[in-house]
Structures are given as structure tokens and as C-alpha cells.
Amino acid sequence: MSNFDYAAPTSLAEATALLAGAHGTARVLAGGTDLIVQLREHLRDADLVVNIKKIPELMELSYSSQLGLRLGASVPCYRIYEHAQISVAYPALADAARIVGGWQIQSRASVGGNLCNSSPAADTIPALIALGAQCVIAGPQGLREVPAESFCTAPGRNVLHKGEILATIVFAPPVPFSGSAYERFIPRNEMDIAVAGAGSWVKLSADGTTIEQARIGLAAVAPTPLFAAEASQWLAGKSATDKTFERAGEFARKAASPISDMRGTAEFRRHLAGVLTRRTLAKAVERALG
């Protein structure tokens, strides 16, 4: 690993100033489970590494049924799924947080870091997309918001400019008769990168028979995590039946434009996008019905 300078600011202002004023490349260290590997393997370089885990608002994890969830960008995954109310209110998020690497990884890795690493296969991003999460970005010019589905722009790239930090991920309060789920496919049962992943959120009619609204996010089937807009819109007003989920899966399959690599063939990934969309919709509906 090439050497670098290190800073551990205790305020957002200090951090953004450090990043904006840095000579050469400055990198943000949240959980470090991606960054440290990338620096070691020379996939990324850094002249300055800024540890943001000492910044209070980035470690914030606050939930209320009125205000929803504020998830600091550096909050490690384990704190999410261990939080009883969050697991109930945003099950897709908890599903994803529980399978990011193993326990040792979840002790460090954060959802914010997963977003900023911007891998097409990131497990938490489809869940954020499905849940309609907003990304609050802090920079020299102040704060701005970006919807989760617009955050990643290409493999390993995102909307952050020099000096900007992803500060908080904001989730609207859960609405009644809604439910969500995230599932991925991996060859093993743990410690793999998703071959494909799908996150689904649904809001049902009060009688539980009809899907009023739905959002589907997909992983590892496109250059970035994908909001399956067509499938999501098509679902609105459809009856909550296996047939519907199957059909939505076909839309998801169409939305997918995967590649072949050592983790799976394009053909297999496209197929999985359909299967996982169907399965997560069924689970989301089941959860919506409580």
C-alpha cells in the first residue's frame, strides 16, 4: 500500500474543508472494508484518507414513526438490523444490512460506504431505491439531496464532487399496509458478491388485495444499481397475486442489461433478476399484510 496522510475530523465542516483543500487525491474512510482493500490492491490511490467516524451526525441512527429514519453515512450495518423498530419499519434495509459480508464486515461496513463505493452489485442500494431513500450530501456549498437511484453514475462512480461527503440517508416514515424485502443470489450462503439482487417495496390497499404503489431496485444487472421504473409503475393497481409478481419479474428481466463475468453469465443474471423480483415482491406483500 502506498503511504498517505490521515485525518479524523470531528465535524462535517472540518471534513469537507479537508477534502476540498486536499492536495492530490483525498478518500473518505467510513467502514474501510472496501477502501482499505482497494488501496492495498492499488485499485484506488490516496494522498489523504479522512476517517469520518468521529463526526457525530454521520454516526446518527434515529428513528421515529413520525419523522422516519435518519441513517448517518458511517453507521455500521449491524446497528441497523439489531434495531428492532427499524427492522420492522424498513425490512428491506435490514435484509440487506444483514448480508453485507459476514459479521466482521458488518461491524465496520456502512450503508453510506456501500453507496459511495458505488458497485453495481452493492446489496444495500436496491433496498434504498425500493424504500425511496434520499441521500443528503454535505459540501463546501452546504447540503443537497439526491434520490438513491440517482446516486451512482457508473461502476465505482457517483454524483459526489470534490469536497463533498455523503452525510445522511433519509427514509420517509413507513406508510400503513406497506412492506419491503431484499434478496440476492449468491453461490454460497454468505461471503459472496451478489450475482444479482432485487429489493421490492409495496403499498397495498387497505383490504390487502391490490398493490397501490411499488418500487423495485435491482443489483448486478446493469452498470449501476437500477430502479426498475417500468416494473414499478406497471404494478400500481394490480392485484397482489403470484401471477402479478411473475409478470413484474418479466419487466425486471427486460430492464436488466447484465454482463458475463466470473460471478455469473449475463443470461443467468437476467433470469435471476426476474426470479428475485418475484420472490421479493411476494415477501414484501406478505410483510405488508403483517
- The single-letter DSSP state of residue 237 is T
- Alpha-carbon torsion, ordered 117, 119, 121, 123, to 10 deg: 20
Q: 8 vs 146, which CB is nearer to another protein?
A: 8
Pairing of strands 5-7, 68-72: unpaired
5 binds another protein, rule: CB under 8 A: yes
Q: 94, 121, 125, 195: which one contacts another protein (CB under 8 A)? A: 195
User: In this structure, what DSSP letter does residue 163 have?
Assistant: T
> Mask 69-88, x = binds another protein (CB under 8 A)?
-------x-x----------
Distance CA 95, CA 72 (A): 18
Q: Which stretch binds another protein (CB under 8 A): 97-105, 197-205, 209-217, 228-236?
A: 97-105
Q: Which is nearer to another protein, 165 or 193 (CB)?
A: 193
H or E, element range at 270: helix 266-288
Per CB under 8 A, the segment of 19-27, 228-236, 238-246, 270-278 that binds another protein is 270-278
Selected from 27, 83, 108, 203, the binder of another protein by CB under 8 A is 108
Please state, in angstroms and rounded to a whole number, the distance separating the CA atoms of residues 34 and 187.
21
DSSP character at residue 261: B
Number of residues that bind another protein (CB under 8 A): 46
φ/ψ of 280, rounded to 5, equals -75, -30
Does 173 interact with another protein (rule: CB under 8 A)?
no
Taking CB under 8 A as the criterion, the residue among 12, 22, 33, 182 binding another protein is: 33
The distance from CA 23 to its chain's CA centroid, rounded to whole angstroms, is 30
DSSP 289: T
Measure the CA–CA gap between 206 and 213, rounded to whole angstroms: 12
Neighbours of 113 (CB within 10 A): 27
* Nearest distance from C-beta of residue 139 to another protein, angstroms: 24
Q: 238: buried, middle or exposed (CB in 10 Å: 19+, 13-18, 0-12)?
A: middle
Interaction pattern, residues 11-30, with another protein; x per rule: CB under 8 A? ------------------x-
Under rule CB under 8 A, residue 161 binds another protein: no
The CA-based dihedral angle spanning residues 169, 172, 177, 179, taken in that order and rounded to the nearest 10 degrees: -10
Q: Which of 271, 277, 281, 282 binds another protein (CB under 8 A)?
A: 271
Examine residue 185 and tell whether it contacts another protein (CB under 8 A). yes
Would strands 48-51 and 68-72 be described as parallel, antiparallel, or unpaired?
unpaired
> Which of 9, 68, 72, 101 forms a contact with another protein (CB under 8 A)?
101
Q: Among 103, 141, 175, 229, which residue interacts with another protein (rule: CB under 8 A)?
A: 103
Adjacent-strand bridge partners of 147: 134
1 is an interface residue for another protein by CB under 8 A: yes
Q: Which of 175, 191, 229, 236 binds another protein (CB under 8 A)?
A: 191
Using rule CB under 8 A, residue 261 touches another protein: yes
Residues that bind another protein (CB under 8 A): 1-6, 8, 29, 32-33, 36-37, 39-41, 49, 51, 53, 76, 78, 101-105, 107-108, 185, 187-193, 195, 261-265, 267-268, 271-272, 275
